[in-house]
Amino acid sequence: MLFNSLTFIVFFTVVLALHYTVRSWGVQKFILLAASYIFYAAWNPPFVILLWISTLVDWYVAKALDQKKAPVKRKFLLTISLAANLGLLGFFKYGEFILDNFIKLMHLAGIPFEAAAPNIILPVGISFYTFQTLSYTLDVYFKKTQRCQSFLDFALYVTFFPQLVAGPIVRATDFLPQCLKPRRATRDQFGWGLYFITLGLFQKVVLADGLLSSASDSIFNHKDGAIYFVDAWLGLLAFSAQIFCDFAGYSTCAIGVALCLGFILPDNFRSPYAAVGFSDFWRRWHISLSSWLRDYLYIPLGGNRTGTLRTLFNLMFTMFLGGLWHGASWTFVAWGLLHGIYLITEHLLREFVPKMQWVGTMLGRFVLGQLTFIMVSLAWVFFRSADFSSAWNLLRSLFDYSGSGAQLLSSLDIAQVVIVITGLLASHWYLHEKRLEHAMQDLPAWWVVTVWTTMLFGLILMQGGGNAFIYFQF
């Protein structure tokens, strides 16, 4: 069930009506839980079983961890949770990838091994809810949080429909306390919720699908040789804007939907294309994932506390797994490793190169910010390309200034990309140190109404083709 569909509008209207009509908080939570299962079952009903498995395993493991004191028993219980959750994730998401690579290795060794294609269907959002349930078990194991005492609350935490299939990845410490007392949005919260839903849909339907997808698809789907370098750069920048508008659009919708129900979800994006440096970028992009990798992988590995060489390894290994989390493909691994190289280079420069005074100036920060954006955009080549051959072809085209190559973009495509990317970068720099709602409150009421009306008008004009959000595949 897509946020950008009439089906969801009807579904959400019914959920809102029931949520604010029923007076019992226990019944309200049960309705939200049932609605969450219906929301997920709309994709593929049998996969609801996977949600049940994750919920039951982590509920009983956490309950046992609360009772067991012996370190060996606690480690055994944690192993059960890790094996169950990562086992399901590994089978459904990486099963075919592992088999394909095993077959290739056999062929390289001269062994003519073949196997029937398993044709495994990837459950929507499995990476997101797996990391969410694991964070709860890990927090209980490391005694960072108390075990949840209500199975209904925990089940709702695992399956809460606004962020179930594409994040943000919510921590139990942020969500479960909100289940203790009735949640009803104030007038301001409900208004902001509707505004965020409108903004998220505008980013997805009008910008990502309407104005950017044509240029992006034209460049990345090109298979026949070189591309004119201007078109190549514009197509790459179009995807940089598209991936942000698509993914941030979903997160913004999720935050808005939850806010209308009285729940508060964490921010997932904070003007990432105004980041100054790559560590700053990962503090602003997909915050719920980057903070998860930091807290449950990078820091347990030793973080930056164990010397330079170990720190560099920790950075690279974390980004390797971050790339693999996004997809079962070596191109995603390459994207993650490239960001690992970026972070390592930045770390070494900070440690061994004296800080130059101009870096701290407004102009210096702007120049470094633009360099960060260009390097991040170059990494998107591997993220978006179907294979390495296509990625190398595009990279060669980006730096082939001979004027040769196919001209793929129309004048309309070029105008749309230039307008959107200029507006996107300007808005990110304007909101660099601000939250959107605070910035909006500083504006006159007529300006807020005008912006909202413009977005609604754009949604009515575009309407969209009901395209799924890009991050659903992860």
Q: Residue 269 has what pLDDT? A: 93
Domain span at 368 = 195-473
Q: How far apart are CA 371 and CA 278, in angstroms?
A: 10
Instruction: Inform me whether the pLDDT recorded for 426 exceeds 80.
Output: yes
Q: What is the pLDDT of residues 78-112, one digit of tens each?
A: 999 999 999 999 989 888 888 888 888 887 877 78
Catalytic residue among 19, 222, 286, 326: 326
For the entire predicted model, the pTM comes to 0.91
Do residues 371 and 423 both lie within one domain? yes
To the nearest whole percent, how much of the chain has pLDDT over 70?
Answer: 95
Do residues 366 and 301 both lie within one domain? yes
Q: Residue 109 has what pLDDT? A: 78
Closest CA to 59 of 158, 167, 130, 142: 158
Do residues 167 and 93 both lie within one domain? yes
Q: How far apart are CA 244 and CA 242, in angstroms?
A: 5
Q: Residue 460 has what pLDDT? A: 83
Share the mean pLDDT of the chain.
89
**Domain-located, residue 108:** yes
Do residues 178 and 199 both lie within one domain? no
**Count of helices and strands (H, E) across the chain:** 19, 0
**Chosen domain end from 154, 182, 210:** 182
H helices of 431-444, where? 436-441
* Lowest mean pLDDT, pick from 67-71, 88-92, 219-223, 372-376: 67-71
Instruction: Inform me whether the pLDDT recorded for 212 exceeds 70.
Output: yes
How many domains, the chain? 2
**Domain-located, residue 190:** no
Q: What is the pLDDT of residues 313-339, one digit of tens each?
A: 999 999 999 999 988 899 999 999 999
**Chosen domain end from 182, 217, 239:** 182
Do residues 420 and 443 both lie within one domain? yes
Placement of tokens 């007076």 in the chain: 23
326 tagged catalytic: yes
Q: What is the pLDDT of residues 388-401, one digit of tens each?
A: 999 999 999 999 88
**Domain-located, residue 269:** yes
**Domain-located, residue 87:** yes
**Chosen domain end from 151, 182, 213:** 182
Instruction: Inform me whether the pLDDT recorded for 468 exceeds 70.
Output: no
Instruction: Inform me whether the pLDDT recorded for 472 exceeds 60.
Output: no
Closest CA to 208 of 387, 16, 421, 6: 421
Q: Residue 27 has what pLDDT? A: 93
Do residues 172 and 312 both lie within one domain? no
Do residues 170 and 201 both lie within one domain? no
Residues comprising the chain, all counted: 474
Instruction: Inform me whether the pLDDT recorded for 359 exceeds 70.
Output: no
Do residues 17 and 121 both lie within one domain? yes
Helix then strand then coil, in percent of the chain rounded to 5, is: 75, 0, 25
Do residues 163 and 15 both lie within one domain? yes
Do residues 162 and 234 both lie within one domain? no
**Domain-located, residue 1:** no
Do residues 172 and 207 both lie within one domain? no
**Domain-located, residue 177:** yes
Do residues 155 and 267 both lie within one domain? no
**Domain-located, residue 375:** yes
